Structure 1
Amino acid sequence: MSNPAARQAAERAARDSYGRLLAILSARTHDIAASEDALADAFARALERWPADGIPAQPDAWLLSVARHRKLDAWRHTRVQDAATQSLMLLAGEVDEGTTDGTAVPDERLRLLFVCAHPAIDAAARAPLMLQTVLGLDAARMAGAFLTAPATLGQRLVRAKARIRAAGIPFEYPRARDLPQRLQDVLDGIYAAYGTGWDDVDGADALPRGLTAEAIDLCRILCGLMPNEPEPLGLLALMLFCEARTAARRSDAGAYVPLDQQDITRWDHELLTQAEHHLRRACAMQSLGAYQLEAAIQSAHCERRAGAPVPPETLVALYEGLLALRPSVGAQVSRACALANARGSETGLRALDAIAANEVTNYQPFWAARAHLLAAGGARAAARQAYDRAIGLSASAVVRAYLHAMSDRL
């Protein structure tokens, strides 16, 4: 490509508008897979044409028009869709032209999230489907976040898209009585997007690393649309607590820095203030949820900036509350670490040993925690073995380097 600006414009459009364009294309046909193909073709055409013809004044409108005609051409060749459906798509084009200025981005993205949370879709596929359709991630990148093999996750996504098409699942916000049933899945999808962007993955490009801002943006919008729901506020607080520590997660040399060793002067105190504000608002609604508890745990970790660290037993109680509300392997491992801080490494190890072995076979945080607690108890040989296992399971080069250093100290 002879025009770097054209490539950058296409990449920016892919990053900023993928979910909205896919939602518009899928809204009338309910065929997400065909819409993805059409959108991919439109981006390929952009990379071909924009360097020669120049970047269009409205890149989103250009991409939407090309993708829409790509779908119409496919229908004409296969004759799968009837003339009435094609007419509806053409009419939709006239309506949607007014949405290409970006003002409808929040509605379109959230509408697609709620579509993916429809109860007719397999529960295990809902959050991954959100990440793929709204944010454009592939199964290989998402698999680690859902502790699933890429091939298995890919099959789930294919079945979910087929289900949307076959069942004619409507692209609309759920009715008020359906919100509680779908809201949790939408929150989980947003948090999974944040986690995917937060984690360092070998070979990751700039797009996934921008997912943290995308996830926070979506959650802010959701909080505005549902001001009386506490859990969106809890999730927003949770992500802001984590985001506030971004600059402190690496040393000046780029090395990994664990939370308890981070330089608090590098934390973003404005974001921490926002997080505390949202958490207080959520708690005032007196309807406790798992994301509020997770945010409270992060708040406790950040209290040392005020010179008043939270007592270790308080963190144990918070994790036990989280497990009572929403059990997970991650919460069990975190509780074990909290127990070790409060009552000693042996207590923490017993808590780790109580977790079902099949659930932690390939769960990297378990082995990293086990290695740390074994080392603290003086079991150096066993600790080195656990470190080796954690290193082998880590997808981040900087985390592997940190674990190697911890092992070498033994």
Structure 2
Amino acid sequence: MDGAAQARSTADAVARRSYGKLVAFLAAAMRDVAAAEDALSEAFAAALADWPLNGCPANPEAWLLTVARRKGIDGIRRRRSGEAAAVQLQILAELDAATSTVMDDAAIPDQRLALLFACAHPAIDAGIRAPLMLQAVLGLDAKTIASAFLASPGAMGKRLGRAKQKIREAGIRFAIPACNELAGRLDGVLDAIYAAFAEGWSDPGGTDVIRRDLTAEALFLAGLVAGLLPQEPEALGLLACMLHAEARRRARRNADGDYVPLAEQDAALWDAVMIDEAEALLLRASALGHIGRYQLEAALQSAHVERRRSGRTDWTPEVQIYDALLALSGSPVVALNRALAIAELQGPCAALEIVDALAADGRLVEYQPYWAARAALLARTAAYAEARAAFDIAIGLASDPAVRRFLQGRQAVLPR
């Protein structure tokens, strides 16, 4: 591998492994998320110019922090003057002292939880807190975040910019808040972690650089939050839900890399230890006496496992959980999944009535699972021409080649 390729490979590995940690460390010191992101971006650009010539450093994270600090100083001098600049330069001088003591990656203080809770500050609009965390802590771009929240990339980018400006102007502290402040911030933190997990989950083969390692990062953060707040049932419920899903990873693709839906997965490939851990967490959460969204999500995962293991054919438990979850969230995605459960309980015609009503929600127009679900239900009612058209849309929207092949296979067997 030549020097440029080695530099690119090392930089990519550091970005996947430590982006959130580096941004969080810089933002906590600089008290400015946008400035921290800009400084780190410039540091990565400098690395791609320097490392091919001088070799990759033994500690690339520390190298990037040092360069980012210098870039931050340059940025302050360009953008500010007078007392405000003096204060910021003093802050960066303190950062210089901190980074000079960083001898290895493990020594970089992990400020990710502090940054997550800073992004969830009451001064930040509730609707942008989770997207802001996804960008600041996990490095996702506005387009990917917009897709996760069924929004346009342009609008999402503007909202993220305003939120970062608010953090700077309000002087929001980058610290884990006191216990009496946690309740108002926890929901946003959990939403961001779950959204990150879902993005990573959509790329089980790890072929998308943007989504690679997101599930592991999200599981790590969920574990941190659950450990920090062991008496918060929703923190336990989120971790249980994610562990249940992750336990099925090996079964989601066959030996040829083809997509395998849950109903056809080999349960012997599921991680039994991970499932047991999820069940224990869900039991602990239920004993705390407050039911929330993530406990219900975990309960659904648990019900799927129990049904497959026991051979139960009655979908009443799943529909009841979906009823509660829909009442709590009002989410069109939950409504869509509830319709699929109702199809197993009451038949596809009853489910199609719900799916038809959901078509009025513009957020689902480009939501691939909506069209895949609609196609499958239409096929079960022998509306083959309509099913074929819905499959066409679902196939066109599918970003995962394995899912695309799966849908094409289902479409191909429809009678003409």
Coarse TM-score class (shorter-chain normalised): over 0.9
Query: How many matched pairs?
Result: 410
- Name the SS for the 2:399 alignment partner: coil
1:293-312 alignment, distance < 5 Å: 293-309=296-312, 311-312=314-315
4+ long deviations beyond 6 Å: none
Deviations 1:243-266 (A, max 9, x none): 111111112111111110111122
Determine the structure 2 residue equivalent to 1:44: 45
Deviations 1:268-302 (A, max 9, x none): 22211211111111112121111011111011111
More moved, 321-330 vs 288-297:
321-330
Offset of residue 331 of structure 1: 0.8
Cα–Cα, structure 1 residues 48 and 88, in superposed 2: closer, same or farther, change >3 Å?
Answer: same
Determine the structure 2 residue equivalent to 1:187: 190
More moved, 1-10 vs 201-210:
201-210
Q: 2:140 aligns with which of 120, 132, 137?
A: 137
Q: Does 1:371 align with 2:375?
A: yes
- Name the SS for the 2:281 alignment partner: helix
- Name the SS for the 2:260 alignment partner: coil
Q: Does 1:23 align with 2:24?
A: yes
Whether the 8 Å contact between 2:315 and 2:345 is mirrored in structure 1 is yes
Give distance in 2, aligned partners of 1:105 and 1:245.
Answer: 33
- Name the SS for the 1:57 alignment partner: coil
So what's the TM-score if we normalise by structure 1? 0.93
Give distance in 1, aligned partners of 2:190 and 2:284.
Answer: 17
More moved, 297-306 vs 155-164:
297-306
Cα–Cα, structure 1 residues 356 and 99, in superposed 2: closer, same or farther, change >3 Å?
Answer: farther
For structure 2, the 5+ residue unaligned runs are: none
Determine the structure 2 residue equivalent to 1:401: 405
More moved, 250-259 vs 119-128:
119-128
Given residue 50 of structure 1, which amino acid in structure 2 is its aligned partner? Answer: W
Offset of residue 122 of structure 1: 2.3
Cα–Cα, structure 1 residues 99 and 319, in superposed 2: closer, same or farther, change >3 Å?
Answer: farther
Determine the structure 2 residue equivalent to 1:273: 276
So what's the TM-score if we normalise by structure 2? 0.92
Whether the 8 Å contact between 2:240 and 2:279 is mirrored in structure 1 is yes
Whether the 8 Å contact between 1:200 and 1:395 is mirrored in structure 2 is no
Offset of residue 308 of structure 1: 4.0
- Name the SS for the 1:206 alignment partner: coil
Deviations 1:212-255 (A, max 9, x none): 00000000011111111111111111111111111111121111
Offset of residue 108 of structure 1: 0.4
Q: Does 1:93 align with 2:102?
A: no
Cα–Cα, structure 1 residues 320 and 45, in superposed 2: closer, same or farther, change >3 Å?
Answer: same
How large is the RMSD of aligned CA atoms in angstroms? 2.2
Given residue 225 of structure 2, which amino acid in structure 1 is its aligned partner? Answer: L
Offset of residue 43 of structure 1: 1.4
For structure 1, the 5+ residue unaligned runs are: none
Deviations 1:91-117 (A, max 9, x none): 233245446644576840111111111
Offset of residue 304 of structure 1: 4.2
1:336-347 alignment, distance < 5 Å: 336-347=339-350
Offset of residue 31 of structure 1: 2.1
Offset of residue 40 of structure 1: 1.1
Whether the 8 Å contact between 2:16 and 2:212 is mirrored in structure 1 is no
Whether the 8 Å contact between 2:140 and 2:210 is mirrored in structure 1 is no
1:46-85 alignment, distance < 5 Å: 46-80=47-81, 81-85=84-88
More moved, 20-29 vs 312-321:
20-29
Whether the 8 Å contact between 2:206 and 2:213 is mirrored in structure 1 is no
Give distance in 2, aligned partners of 1:4 and 1:264.
Answer: 41
Determine the structure 2 residue equivalent to 1:292: 295
Determine the structure 1 residue equivalent to 2:201: 198
Q: 2:259 aligns with which of 256, 261, 274?
A: 256
Whether the 8 Å contact between 2:10 and 2:56 is mirrored in structure 1 is yes
Cα–Cα, structure 1 residues 98 and 225, in superposed 2: closer, same or farther, change >3 Å?
Answer: farther
Given residue 33 of structure 1, which amino acid in structure 2 is its aligned partner? Answer: A
Deviations 1:37-90 (A, max 9, x none): 110111122222234333333322221111001111222234444223212220
